[in-house]
Every structure is written in structure tokens, then in C-alpha cells.
Amino acid sequence: MNVVSNKWIGQRTIRPDGADKVTGRAAYAADATMPGMIWGKILRSPHPHARIRSIDTSKAEALPGVKAVVTAKDIVDFPVDTPVPLGIQDMRWMCRNVMAREKALFHGHPVAAVAATTEEIAAEACRLIEVDYEVLPWVIEIEDAIRPDAPILHDFLRFEGRPSNIAGKLEHRLGDVEAGFAEADVVIERSFATRPVHQGYIEPHACLVSVAPDGKTTIWSSSQGQFMVRAMTSLLTGIPQSDIRAIPAEIGGGFGGKTIIYLEPVAVMLSKKSGRPVKMVMTREEVMRATGPTSASRSTVKIGARRDGRIVAAQGTFYLQAGALPGSPIRGAAGCAFAPYDIPNVHSVGYDVVSNRSKVAAYRAPGAPIGAYAVECVLDELAEALGMDPLELRLKNAARQGTKAAHGPVYPRIGFAETIEAALAHPHYKAPLGKRQGRGVACGFWFNAGGESSAQVNVTEDGNVVVTTGHPDIGGSRASIANITAELLGIDYRRVSVLIGDTATIGYSNLTGGSRVLFASATVVTQSVEKVITQLRERAAKIWGIDPDAVKWEDGQALPAGDNAGRFPPLTLKQLAAKASETGGPIGAGVQLNTTGAEGGFATHICDVEVDPELGIVRVVRYTAFQDAGRAIHPGYVEGQMQGGVAQGIGWALSEEYVYDRQGRVDNASFLDYRMPVCSDLPMIDTVIIEVPNPKHPQGVRGVGEVPIVPPLAAISNAVYNALGRRFYSLPMSPPKVLATLEGAAA
């Protein structure tokens, strides 16, 4: 839908953050400094599970250079029996995650923090804190945590009347699955496992916090939402939101992992106690041990179809690891799993399982890749059993406008079938395969999201434009907003500056997550620009002495709407800006909305792998991703999102995993040991953008950032099967595992 008349929408304009990032000028949170600044450091639990009997901080406090020490006593306590939701988080769990309260729940769990004049003194002071622990039995893996005799993490959690590590259950039902399976000619049921993987953002968490003597608090930090930082910090410290100013730093990646906070409330309390600005920067090891990752999972999926390929029933059970405190993305797993298909009878259940590892954080389409992995692998087997092409099977059952999804909605116009049709027609799908190569396909869905956004669009006195929004830009929102503003105003995009405001300078804006940012901010920016255009027409009308309705805005200038309006030379944005004071004052407008209508996003992926059967190495040699973007406002960024999601999916499928040692500690808490793919592991990832505009958005935008990580796990697994004739039901398909399976097959 690249409308030919669009001048800027759909263009690969130069990104506003590019020059700063490639020249090293971009200011990340760790770059912030202040006069008088001191350093905060966290003492972390050496045990995976231990009751904290007492903490003696006196020796640390006596160390010269130490200015403040905090423990859980300094963080607001939310009792466990009353939920305090904030977005998808619950402050009962957040207060216990930022600082262990009754118990240390994982190795690396913060138990105290120190601020001192140097990082070395702070580290030394941490060593001087004496914690009296009662070490408790611990449990790491889902299958162990749900055993009846498992050590229980939280006495207050009950499942089916008994103390349990199952913290919650979510269920979607549609039709009658029993009746559906009875109608099926072919039924396939399989079980799957995935491992926890980290978001892997390159910038560790960091903040600089200053609490002034009058209590006014300023936070510079790296996050996916300055308003989330403000709200959570306020709740955890008791400082009113109006006294907290959260300033978003340029962000070095988040992928969902920065939708919660770790350091900010601790730094605030250290600053409040010491009277000094406090800076905290995590090491990579701290990031790996105590932030994110995403859940491990155990799932079982059963799908039944008639001989003609029509799917009649589907059932899924998904156990997801939450980490030490409740809150795994079961909604994404159970909700997205069957969402791409029109299935009359569905039963999908998710279980949230706690265990002694760091609390999971959102990771790109949280939960959805886990659900899709199981479903899309079963579909591959189903296609084989039915003798159908796997894409044709999906096309036959594809959800379309009017389909009722098990997780709730009846779809409006969606572009899912178009992604499958594009894949079927693409040369990649028919390209010959080499020796030991295989091809797999898979599809994926993500909900996408709307929510609260604010924008302010101001015309500068010299006739250019400054747009301020409230979302940290992790996927190209600034560049895209510049394109939209330039398009609507009819001016060159280089005349539009797009800034991210802080919590004091722009209205409330929900965090950067759920693939919502461009959808939501384009909506408020569009309405703001429309208001600005109305003002510009009014100003021109005033100058010309005619009715504002008789003025139109075109190509960056006001013109008389028709011959009857009178004959006046056009007034440009520059000319109107110069006359702004005489014609009524500054020109600008803001809009704040809770946006709705962010319809789901769909993708279909084709993957070719090559297997080295002597080493067990699987290499992705060709990959093409097809995705409905609604409208690609900045195609380069859409492609970047698609490629990035696929790259992360490749890591998840083939190499990445958290490994724990026998003491319940992460054994690979560094990039020397954590197997993240690098450029040389990846092929060029080809992208095909499909544009079926979202009817509920002014530009037709759908979220694009998360869908692309949903299909790869299954697409790669299916390709490996195609290459080897052996199916793998657990990830990662790492070389020793692949080799062992091949040798098992040979023996």
C-alpha cells in the first residue's frame, strides 16, 4: 500500500539517532554524571533460596567513604495478600524483586545496597555486610518445581487448595474440543520443551539518581518507559509521582527486558539517605544473573484435522517458568498459539510456575514463540500425515476477517492469508535444496497493543516543527514520526525534529512494549498535526480576512480553497510562523489518548538449514520472512525489526540457553559462555513486507516489532526435520544434542 502520492510515508529517510550512535555521541544512562556523584553497588544473595534472618550493615557503614546503605526496610512493602497491579506487573512482586524481603529467592537476588565515593569502596562495603541466612532447599526446573514434594517458594501460593509453585492458570476455550477431536480423521499430539534465553540487550541497566533536599527526585535511566520508571519508583519509595522526574536516556536495546526496573528505587533510597547523586551500573554478569530472561517452557499440543485438511480441534497446555516471583507470559503462549487459525474448537491452558531463578521479564512477543513453536511443529507433522503442503494446510485454515479467535476477538481485516500466499509464490519456496539441507515453514501471531500516548507538536518561530512524544525509541519511532509529520504538513522531513520527552515535559505515555509505539504515537501525532493545520488555516484566514473554511492546507502552505474564496498568494509554514505572534500567539497542539484498535500482526517464515552431520552443527543458510505491517511508514526500520526478530529466534532455536550449576547458580553469566549468535552465524535474512492496512489506524499501521520472533523456532525445527528426517522436540538444537540424536538414529 505504498500510495504513490505519499512523499515521505514509505521512504527510507535518514534516522535521527543514526549519526549520534555511529559516532559514539549518543548519551546512554551510564554516560550521565553529576557533581558530587557517588556510586551504588548491590550485594546479592549467594544462595538460590534462603530465609534472611538478619542483616548487619554496621561494618559497612563504618567504612570510610560509605555514604548510605539500604535494605528491604527502605523499600515500601506491599503485603502478599493484596494485589497491586501496574500494567502487567504487580508491586507485591516488584518490591520483593528489587530487594529480597523475607527470603532470598535466587542466586543473585539483591539483599542490600551501598553507596560510596568510589565503586571499589562500595564493593568493599558490600563484602562487609553480614547477612544471616537460613539456607533452604531450592528448585530450578519446571518439571521439578511442579512435583508434589518440591520445595515451596511461597507459602502463600496455593493451587487447587494446596501449597504449590503453580502461581496461576489462564484458560481459553472455544467450542467443544472433545466433540471436535471426535470428528477428526488425523490427530497429532506432541510435547515440547524450550530453555530460558536472555533478551541480550547490549547496554546493561544503568541509572543516575538525584534526590534534592526538598525531596524532588530526578532519574536518568535506560528503560522502555520513563513513566513506568516514575510510577514504579514512586510506589516502591513512597515519593509522589509529581516529585519524580524520570528522564529517558538513549537506550541500548531492551527487547522487553527494560519494561521493569531493578536499580532506580534502590538508587533513589541511597541518594535520599546520602544526600548525594547516586549512579548505578550493572555488570554484564549482574544482567545475566538477575535480570530477565524469558521463561523456559514445557508444552503439549494436540491438533486434529479432517482428511481434507480442515482443522477441527486443538488443545494446548503450556507450563512457563516465572522465575522467583509470579508472572510468566502465559497469556502470550496460550493466547497466541492458535490465534493464526480458524479453528472451531480450542482449549488452551497456561500455567505460571515459580522456581529459584531470576524473575522473568518480557522478551519480544512474550510467550508467543513458545506457543507457536509447539503448534507450528505439530502442524508440520499434520501436513505430512495428510500428505499436504505445509503452507497449503496453513492457508486452508488461516484466520480471516470475521474469524473468532479462542483468546477473544473477532478479527477485522487482517493480512495473514496474504503472508502465506506471498510465501507460496516466492522463489525461495521452490528453490532447489543442496545436500544435507532442509526447508521448514512456520507462522506466527502477536496481539499488538494500543494504550496511552501523548504528543505535542510545536511550530518553531522559524517555521520548522518539533514533535515530542513519551516513548523511548527502540525500533525507529522517531524516524517514522518524522515521516508522518512531514507527510501531513507537506514539508521536508528534515524540518521535523522528533524528541522523547521526560515525565515532566510530556503527558503520560505507556511504555514501549507490545509493538504499540508507532501505532499509538502516530495516532496522537496525527491528531496533533491536524490541529496544527487547523490553526495554520485560521491564521491564514485571519491575514486574508476570509473564513477559515475557505482556506486549505497543501504542500506545506495555506491556499484559498477555491476561486470563490478570493485570490491570495499562498502563505507558507515559514511565513505563518513568522506572523504567529500577531495572529494569535504560538502555533502548536497536543493530544493525549488511550488508543484502541491495534489489531494483531501475522507472519509466515521460510527457513533453509544445512546440517553438518559429523559435528551436529545446524546453520541457517537462507531465510525469508513475510509479514503484514499494515503500512510500512519507514520500510528500513520494518525490515530491521523483521531481521532482528529472526536473528533472536535463530539464537533461541539453535544455541542460546541458561545453564545452571549444581549449586543453583547460573553457569554461563557472560558472553564468553552464553551462546548468542553473531553476524557470522547468520545468513542475510530476506524480508517481504505485506501491507494490508489496519482499518482502525490513520496510516493503517500495525505493530511490527514482535511478530518476527514468533515463527523462527518452529520454522528452523521443521527445516531440520526436512534435512535429517529426525524431529527434535526440545531447544536449543545445539551441536552435541543434534549429534547424539543422529548417532542414536544410526545405532
Partner 1 sequence: MYEFAYHKPSSVADAVKLLSADPEARPIAGGHTLLPALKHRLARPTALVDLSGIAELRGIRREGDKVVIGALARHAEVANSDAVKGAIPALARLAGTIGDVQVRNRGTLGGSVANNDPAADYPAAVLGLGATVVTDRRRIAADDFFTGMFSTALEPGELLVAIEFPIPEKAGYAKMKNPASRYVMTGAFVSRGPQGVRVAINGAGPCVFRQREMEAALAANWSPDAVANIRQSPDGLNSDIHGSAEYRAHLVTVMAKRAVADAG
Helical H segments across 80-194, by residue range:
91-98, 119-128, 142-145, 177-183
Phi/psi region, residue 79 (left: phi>0; alpha: psi -120 to 50; beta: rest), is: beta
Footprint on residues 124-153 left by partner 1 (CB under 8 A): none
Compute the C-alpha angle 735/435/442, nearest 5°. 65
Antiparallel, parallel or unpaired: β 557-560 and 588-595: unpaired
- Cβ 255 to partner 1 shortest distance, Å: 19
Nearer to partner 1, 554 or 673 (CB): 673
Give the residue among 444, 337, 379, 307 at the shortest CA–CA distance from 727.
379
Query: Would you say 195 or 302 has its CB closer to partner 1?
Result: 195
Q: Which stretch, 54-62, 154-162, 429-437, 669-677, contacts partner 1 (CB under 8 A)?
A: 669-677
Cell digits for 568?
491570495
323, amino acid identity: G
- Whichever of 543 and 676 has its CB closer to partner 1, that residue is 676
Phi, psi at 269, each rounded to 5°: -65, -35
d(CA 224, CA 522): 18
**615 is a site residue for partner 1 (CB under 8 A):** yes
Please report whether residue 739 would count as binding partner 1 according to CB under 8 A.
Answer: yes
Residue with cell 510468566: 328
Q: Taking CB under 8 A as the rule, does residue 672 contact partner 1?
A: yes
Q: Are 188 and 384 in contact (CB under 8 A)?
A: no
Residues 6 or more apart from 8 whose CB is under 8 A from it?
482, 483, 484, 486, 487, 493
**Least distance from partner 1 to the Cβ atom of residue 673, Å:** 5
DSSP state of 274: H
178 lies in the site for partner 1, by CB under 8 A: no
Asked if 122 touches partner 1 (CB under 8 A), the answer is no
Per-residue mark of binding to partner 1, 680-719 (x: CB under 8 A): -x--------------------------------------
For the bound state, the minimum distance from the C-beta of residue 730 to partner 1, rounded and expressed in Å, comes to 16
Smallest distance from partner 1 to CB 679, Å:
10
Smaller CB distance to partner 1: residue 547 or 661? 661
Nearer to partner 1, 34 or 676 (CB): 676
10 Å Cβ neighbour count for 301? 25
675 is an interface residue for partner 1 by CB under 8 A: yes
- Provide the mask over 616-635, with x wherever binding to partner 1 is found by CB under 8 A and - wherever it is not: -x------------------
- Tally the residues of the chain: 747
Closer to partner 1 by Cβ: residue 635 or 735: 735
Of 154-173, which residues contact partner 1 (CB under 8 A)? none
Q: What's the closest the beta carbon of residue 649 comes to partner 1, in angstroms? A: 16
Smallest distance, partner 1 to C-beta of residue 61, A: 24
Nearer to partner 1, 549 or 673 (CB): 673
Q: Are residues 43 and 126 in contact, defined by beta-carbon separation less than 8 angstroms?
A: yes
CA angle 156, 159, 163 (to 5 degrees): 45
Query: Can residue 555 be called a binding residue for partner 1 (CB under 8 A)?
Result: no
Q: Shortest gap between Cβ of 283 and partner 1 (angstroms)?
A: 11
Task: Give least dist CB 222 to partner 1, A.
Answer: 23
Nearer to partner 1, 19 or 615 (CB): 615
Could you tell me which stretch among 143-151, 435-443, 475-483, 612-620 binds partner 1 (CB under 8 A)?
A: 612-620
In sequence order, which residues have a C-beta less than 8 Å from that of residue 157 and are 6 or more positions away?
163, 164, 165, 166, 167, 326, 354
Burial label for 311, CB within 10 Å (0-12, 13-18, 19+), is: buried
Stretch that binds partner 1, among 35-43, 393-401, 438-446, 670-678 (CB under 8 A): 670-678
Q: Minimum distance between the CB of residue 44 and partner 1, rounded to whole angstroms?
A: 17
- Distance of alpha carbon 42 from alpha carbon 274, whole angstroms: 16
Residue 426 engages partner 1 in binding (rule: CB under 8 A): no
Smallest gap from Cβ 609 to partner 1, in A, equals 15
What is the crossing angle of helices 477-489 and 517-544, to 10°?
A: 30
Residue 134: C-alpha distances to residues 51, 127, 210, 341 (Å): 5, 19, 36, 51
- Where does 156-248 have alpha helices with state H? 177-183, 226-237
19 binds partner 1 (CB under 8 A): no
One-letter amino acid at 648 equals Q
Mark residues 638-667: x for contact with partner 1 by CB under 8 A, - for none. Answer: -----------------x---x-------x
**Residue 593, interface with partner 1 (CB under 8 A)?**
no
- Which among 328-336, 394-402, 546-554, 731-739 is the span making contact with partner 1, rule CB under 8 A? 731-739
Shortest Å distance, C-beta 739 to partner 1:
7
Q: Which three cell numbers stand for residue 591?
A: 493530544
Count, residues near partner 1 per rule CB under 8 A:
19
Stretch binding partner 1 (CB under 8 A), from 54-62, 462-470, 564-572, 672-680? 672-680
**Residue 554 interacting with partner 1 (CB under 8 A):** no
Residues 6+ apart with CB under 8 A from 35: 277
Find how far residue 707's CA is from the centre of its chain: 10
Q: Residues 133, 262, 674, 721: which binds partner 1 (CB under 8 A)?
A: 674
Find the helix packing angle between 226-237 and 91-98, rounded to 10°: 80
539's CB contacts (< 8 A; 6+ apart) are: 558, 571, 576, 579, 580, 583, 584, 587
Yes or no: say if 707 and 515 are a contact pair by the CB < 8 Å rule.
yes
- List phi, psi (to 5°) of 100: -55, 135
* Beta bridge mates, 300: 191, 317
Minimum distance from residue 736 beta carbon to partner 1 (Å): 4
Asked whether the beta carbons of 284 and 671 are under 8 A apart, the reply is yes
Subset of residues 194 to 233 that bind partner 1, contact rule: CB under 8 A = none
Contact call for residues 447 and 600 (beta carbons, < 8 A): yes
Distance CA(559)–CA(725), nearest Å, equals 69
504 touches partner 1 (CB under 8 A): no
If you search the block for the grid coordinates 559514539, which residue do you land on? Answer: 24
Looking at beta carbons only, is 320 or 617 nearer to partner 1?
Answer: 617
All 3 cell numbers of residue 199?
A: 533478551
* Residue 668 engages partner 1 in binding (rule: CB under 8 A): yes
Among 401, 671, 695, 726, binds partner 1 (CB under 8 A): 671
Q: Which of 432, 545, 736, 744 binds partner 1 (CB under 8 A)?
A: 736
Is residue 735 within the footprint of partner 1 (CB under 8 A)? Answer: yes
Q: How far is the CB of 743 from partner 1 (least distance, A)?
A: 9
Give the interface segment with partner 1, choosing from 104-112, 222-230, 614-622, 717-725 (CB under 8 A).
Answer: 614-622
Residue among 454 and 655 whose Cβ is closer to partner 1 = 655
All three cell numbers of 707, joined, read 511478530
DSSP 219: E
If binding is defined by CB under 8 A, does position 614 make contact with partner 1? yes
**What is the nearest approach in angstroms of partner 1 to the Cβ of residue 659?**
5
Asked if residue 169 lies in contact with residue 348, where contact means CB atoms within 8 angstroms, the answer is: no
Residues 6+ apart with CB under 8 A from 24: none
The grid coordinates of residue 413 equal 481485516
- In the bound state with partner 1, the residue whose beta carbon lies nearer, of 582 and 743, is 743
CB of 521 to partner 1, least distance (A): 38
The correct pick among 676, 727, 730, 741 for binding partner 1 (CB under 8 A) is: 676
Nearer to partner 1 by C-beta: 39 or 493? Answer: 39
Q: Which residues bind partner 1 (CB under 8 A)?
A: 614-615, 617, 655, 659, 667-668, 671-676, 678, 681, 734-736, 739
